[in-house]
Homo-oligomer: A and B are copies of this chain.
């Protein structure tokens, strides 16, 4: 084992250079203009996996291809088999002007690499790949078989992954899934995440007149779709952040006293978070701590709002339409389809007769909850302790990794969530970064994990 850790140390510089190479691809899955960049990024990844010594295939889908890379000479009957998941696609980088350096030209500063996708998720799964390289190149016995499944549609709802798992159940059936696509409170506080929020995305468009109208000539005669939209959206949430859609909270499993106690272990100060986020005041439901609200309570967010004239100066119109992109974060046991139907029903009920409403369903993902007391979770906790040199904690996370539920559904496997993102990494935001210390510690964690997990 020491030779694996030594190898990781010795090759650190190259691993960092390779991460930068990987980050140069603008693999933005939400924007069709980046289709070729996604393909090029996947090709780079295939090449990298083959260099490591993995048996690698690029599997086409109806969307972006999935990279599947296996440790050689699988003997699945005799040894445990684990799957490592990651995604090579990234969020859009807009607004570009808020980046301190171009999002697809990785910049290293004070031990951090800045680029879109650095932490979400290229850096995190590359750490796992590097760990496996160390086993293979040093000739150290890996006590298990591993399959890496790295997709290119995570940021647009992993549309192709479910079908892919279903079609390849025989090949992919495994004893557990490992994902590092989430966070830890700090390098001193490694964490196993035992619950995730789910998500439902909905887009609402209100159509008014067939074209923008002069607000002097027609103002007073027709409804304003932007105002109608504001009035509609305003009714979806109260002034404390509680979602005002009938039935929305019906299936929410209340937090147990034990969970609330565990979550309270996570260091947090409202005042520091205010300062870090630049908000005048935190916000949210009464009777829940900030940690609870952001990880264990459902929410509604307006992700985007568009209507009328957006340019410089003034344009005196009644806009023809207005649009909102909405997402709801869900908690166990809320069901995306049920929530989507409730949202749709409520919007339809609220929509005034003076505009025409169009509702587009976006992606959805179920919330996730697994007991942290199982044998694999305990094995992961040991690996965390060894690699970080610190006692790990148990947390819930507010983000969504919808495919965790697909692994359960199709492969019957639970997922160990071993995130390497620090709280200030800005995933989905300008100036996304990844700490190189998280990258290198993450490689060690990957190395320590397989022996522990294989014993579990």
Interface residues of A (CB under 8 A from B): 29-32, 91-92, 94-95, 98, 156-157, 183, 197, 199, 201, 203, 208-224, 226-227, 229-231, 233-235, 237, 239, 241, 273, 277-285, 290, 293-295, 297, 299-319, 322, 324-325, 327, 329, 352-356, 362-363, 397-400, 423, 426-431
Given A234-B231, A277-B222, A311-B92, answer yes or no on A214-B303 (Cβ-Cβ < 8 Å): no
**Shortest beta-carbon distance from A134 to chain B in Å:** 31
A299–B316 CA distance with the chains assembled, in angstroms: 12
Please state the number of chain copies in the assembly: 2
Within 8 Å by CB of A429, from B213, B226, B234, B294, lies B213
Q: Decide if B319 touches A221 in the complex (CB within 8 Å).
A: no
**Shortest beta-carbon distance from A167 to chain B in Å:** 25
* Residues on B with beta carbons closer than 8 Å to the beta carbon of A310: 304, 306, 310
* Residues on B with beta carbons closer than 8 Å to the beta carbon of A230: 229-231, 233-234, 302, 305
Nearest B residue to A280 via CB reads B356
Q: Decide if A285 touches B234 in the complex (CB within 8 Å).
A: no
Kindly name the residue among A209, A239, A283 whose own CB sees the greatest number of chain B CB atoms within 10 A: A283
Nearest B residue to A202 via CB reads B314
**Shortest beta-carbon distance from A26 to chain B in Å:** 14
* Residues on B with beta carbons closer than 8 Å to the beta carbon of A311: 30-31, 92, 94
Q: Decide if A430 touches B313 in the complex (CB within 8 Å).
A: no
Within 8 Å by CB of A227, from B94, B211, B301, lies B301
**Shortest beta-carbon distance from A90 to chain B in Å:** 11
Nearest B residue to A203 via CB reads B314
Q: Decide if A307 touches B302 in the complex (CB within 8 Å).
A: yes
**Shortest beta-carbon distance from A330 to chain B in Å:** 11
Q: Decide if B301 touches A325 in the complex (CB within 8 Å).
A: no
Q: Decide if A241 touches B217 in the complex (CB within 8 Å).
A: no
Q: Decide if A213 touches B277 in the complex (CB within 8 Å).
A: yes
Q: What 8 new A-B contacts, CB under 8 Å, besides A234-B235, A303-B309?
A: A212-B428, A216-B398, A218-B294, A226-B303, A226-B304, A227-B300, A302-B319, A317-B428
Q: Decide if B302 touches A208 in the complex (CB within 8 Å).
A: no
**Can you give 10 A-B contacts (C-beta < 8 A)?**
A156-B313, A219-B329, A220-B294, A221-B284, A221-B290, A222-B282, A223-B283, A301-B318, A303-B316, A304-B315
Q: Decide if B212 touches A197 in the complex (CB within 8 Å).
A: no
A293–B94 CA distance with the chains assembled, in angstroms: 42
* Residues on B with beta carbons closer than 8 Å to the beta carbon of A356: 280
Q: Decide if A217 touches B294 in the complex (CB within 8 Å).
A: yes
A201–B317 CA distance with the chains assembled, in angstroms: 12
* Residues on B with beta carbons closer than 8 Å to the beta carbon of A279: 208-210, 222-223, 354-355
* Residues on B with beta carbons closer than 8 Å to the beta carbon of A213: 277, 428-429
Nearest B residue to A277 via CB reads B209
A301–B211 CA distance with the chains assembled, in angstroms: 15
**Shortest beta-carbon distance from A318 to chain B in Å:** 6
A221–B318 CA distance with the chains assembled, in angstroms: 35
A399–B308 CA distance with the chains assembled, in angstroms: 18
Given A216-B398, A239-B352, A399-B217, answer yes or no on A222-B309 (Cβ-Cβ < 8 Å): no
Q: Decide if A304 touches B325 in the complex (CB within 8 Å).
A: no
Nearest B residue to A432 via CB reads B214
* Residues on B with beta carbons closer than 8 Å to the beta carbon of A239: 231, 352
* Residues on B with beta carbons closer than 8 Å to the beta carbon of A329: 215-216, 219-220
A105–B281 CA distance with the chains assembled, in angstroms: 52
Q: Decide if B214 touches A428 in the complex (CB within 8 Å).
A: yes
Within 8 Å by CB of A280, from B201, B284, B353, B399, lies B353
A101–B304 CA distance with the chains assembled, in angstroms: 31
Q: Which 9 A-B pairs have the closest CB atoms?
A: A210-B278, A216-B399, A30-B313, A234-B234, A220-B293, A226-B302, A304-B308, A223-B283, A305-B307
* Residues on B with beta carbons closer than 8 Å to the beta carbon of A398: 216-220
Q: Decide if A301 touches B212 in the complex (CB within 8 Å).
A: no
**Shortest beta-carbon distance from A196 to chain B in Å:** 8
